[in-house]
Homo-oligomer: A and B are copies of this chain.
Amino acid sequence: MSANVPALRLRAVRIDTDSENVAYLARGCTACRVDVLRAAQKVAVSVAGAAPDAEPMLAVLNVVDDSSIVGPDELGLSEQAFAMLGVPAGTLLTIGPAARPASLDTVRRKLQGEPLDLASMRAIARDIAARRYARSEIAAFLVACGREDLERDEVLALTRAMLETGERLDWREPLVADKHCIGGIPGNRTSMIIVPIVAAHGMLIPKTSSRAITSPAGTADTMQVLAEVELAPARLHEIVLRERGCIAWGGTARLAPLDDLLISVERPLALDSPGLMVASILSKKLAAGSTRLLLDIPVGPSAKVRSLADAQRLRKTFEHVGRALGLHVEVTVTDGTQPIGRGIGPVLEARDVMAVLESRPDAPQDLRAKSLRLAGRILEFDPDVRGGDGEGLARDILESGRAAAKMASIIDAQGRRLQPPGPGRLVAEIVAPRAGRVVGFDHLRLARAARQAGAPASPGAGLDLLVRLGDAVRAGQPLYRLHAETSGEFDLARRGCDADAGIAIA
């Protein structure tokens, strides 16, 4: 395709373009018609003299009008593309319009309603992992999968295909426990209590978590209030083997890179596809080397899953795909009608977690009870723990102080934060507009308020809840305290809460 094009010299352009390969070409390029290439949107880059059947690397074309970035006889590649091509600067390259990846035809057929088999999913996953898809093409694939959700076996095929594109950890132990919540409930920071309990028992639980994107805090953001969470893979490995657990950010391990890429495209679209969610969660857990997973599905009127019937359907898909790929998934359907714990936002949630671990009298009892119940289920993965004994054992570990000691030891191993931030110093009380009873929590509204207040980027920002479902309140009684660190965010969040507090009184 590019046989008629003279060669260009490779130059590294030190721009990190994240999930997209970018090729930089001078507008006055001596070797090709930039306008023709631009119309094709993606260009195919080959090492000059490579075998004719060698697959070229695809990249998005940016046209440069600054000769200090690329000269007319140069082809610049972004950091990702340069690393992927894997040849030194100065190498002679040829360039041409990119052919459409063949697997896009499969995506098109899926858009027309045809189911995808394993071979198709593999071809799509391979092309996406090799950066042959533009982000718009990935979006079309995700929408195609999301519209009339995937069949169970399509979810299995996708999970398998995603898993095959990345690395897999092997802990060389028969039992590697993991815990995951599908999310959507403010607060609910149980992992940071469960991990120290389970690790204190001696069971391996290498928990990696995400940062918040649409929520006011992810487990990684909350843990970061107390300790470092960005740990190089080798160090993480060493900590886990010594402590039997960790609470770290999953991004540095580069497990399931395809999942990260799909999520980054899917998230702004808010597609909300159960099939994609199952494939995403299970591919990540399998890549992390987990063998038994406790999966929390909260159900409630403003939760991700709104009925028990939906929760049961989702559960079957998790179990089906997990079984086929060698991961035992145990699903627990929990109450998602109200936030768990009092704090919403990294600092406030970390405070709740530490209050439970240290058995302080003011610890939120709902967070404590749920964490003990889930930890108990995980402890029963241990063949030596009798069925029904898990929760009692978890309580013993917590009340004896062993969980708090384990948490301190994990924090020290990961790198204790010596001056942890406090709650945001700008504080407003959001009050009940009338007397009545608390009858409902709007999780999305509360999350949005905490984000407007600055969470998670401002770790001290967020909400501190003062009421629970069923509480009687009088008009003017505070429902929650709003914390922020800057006046702009404070005013924005306060105006939003004054308009709609997110708590229904009837």
Check if A68 is an interface residue, CB within 8 A of chain B: yes
Most B CB within 10 A of own CB, among A2, A17, A62, A486: A62
Q: Tell me the smallest distance from the CB of A169 to a CB of chain B, in Å.
A: 23
* Interface residues in A1-43 (C-beta closer than 8 Å to B): 1-4, 13-18, 24, 27, 33, 36, 38-42
Q: Tell me the smallest distance from the CB of A430 to a CB of chain B, in Å.
A: 20
Select A268's contact among B15, B104, B265, B456, beta carbons within 8 Å: B104
Given contacts A3-B487, A3-B488, A143-B143, contact A65 B135 (CB under 8 A): no
A454–B4 Cα distance when bound, in Å, is 9
A contact patch SS: mixed
- Give the number of chain A interface residues (Cβ < 8 Å): 66
Task: Check if B269 sits within 8 Å of A15, measured CB to CB.
Answer: no
- Residues of the B chain whose Cβ atoms lie less than 8 Å from the Cβ of A271: 108, 111, 140
Task: Check if A65 sits within 8 Å of B41, measured CB to CB.
Answer: no
Select A111's contact among B97, B138, B143, B458, beta carbons within 8 Å: B143
- Residues of the B chain whose Cβ atoms lie less than 8 Å from the Cβ of A18: 38, 61-63
- Residues of the B chain whose Cβ atoms lie less than 8 Å from the Cβ of A419: none
Number of copies of this chain in the oligomer? 2
- Residues of the B chain whose Cβ atoms lie less than 8 Å from the Cβ of A69: 14-15, 69
Select A1's contact among B27, B68, B144, B492, beta carbons within 8 Å: B492
- Residues of the B chain whose Cβ atoms lie less than 8 Å from the Cβ of A434: none
- Residues of the B chain whose Cβ atoms lie less than 8 Å from the Cβ of A111: 143, 146-147, 271
Task: Check if A15 sits within 8 Å of B100, measured CB to CB.
Answer: no
Most B CB within 10 A of own CB, among A39, A97, A456: A39
Task: Check if B269 sits within 8 Å of A16, measured CB to CB.
Answer: no
Q: Tell me the smallest distance from the CB of A346 to a CB of chain B, in Å.
A: 12
Q: Tell me the smallest distance from the CB of A95 to a CB of chain B, in Å.
A: 12
Smallest CB-CB separation from A65: which chain B residue? B14
A365–B209 Cα distance when bound, in Å, is 69
Smallest CB-CB separation from A40: which chain B residue? B213
A492–B52 Cα distance when bound, in Å, is 10
Given contacts A3-B489, A136-B139, A143-B144, contact A24 B33 (CB under 8 A): no
Contact with B along A447-460 (1 / 0, CB 8 A): 00000001011100
Task: Check if B269 sits within 8 Å of A136, measured CB to CB.
Answer: yes
Check if A384 is an interface residue, CB within 8 A of chain B: no
A485–B3 Cα distance when bound, in Å, is 10
A501–B97 Cα distance when bound, in Å, is 24
Select A63's contact among B16, B105, B487, beta carbons within 8 Å: B16
A251–B332 Cα distance when bound, in Å, is 57
Task: Check if B104 sits within 8 Å of A15, measured CB to CB.
Answer: no
Most B CB within 10 A of own CB, among A63, A211, A487: A63
Q: Tell me the smallest distance from the CB of A70 to a CB of chain B, in Å.
A: 9
19 contacts between A and B (CB under 8 A): A1-B489, A3-B489, A4-B488, A14-B65, A15-B65, A16-B64, A16-B65, A18-B63, A42-B268, A69-B69, A100-B268, A104-B269, A105-B270, A135-B139, A136-B268, A137-B139, A137-B268, A140-B143, A140-B271
Known contacts A1-B492, A33-B457; 15 additional CB pairs below 8 A are A4-B454, A13-B66, A14-B64, A15-B63, A15-B65, A16-B64, A18-B38, A39-B213, A104-B270, A111-B143, A135-B135, A135-B136, A136-B268, A137-B139, A140-B143
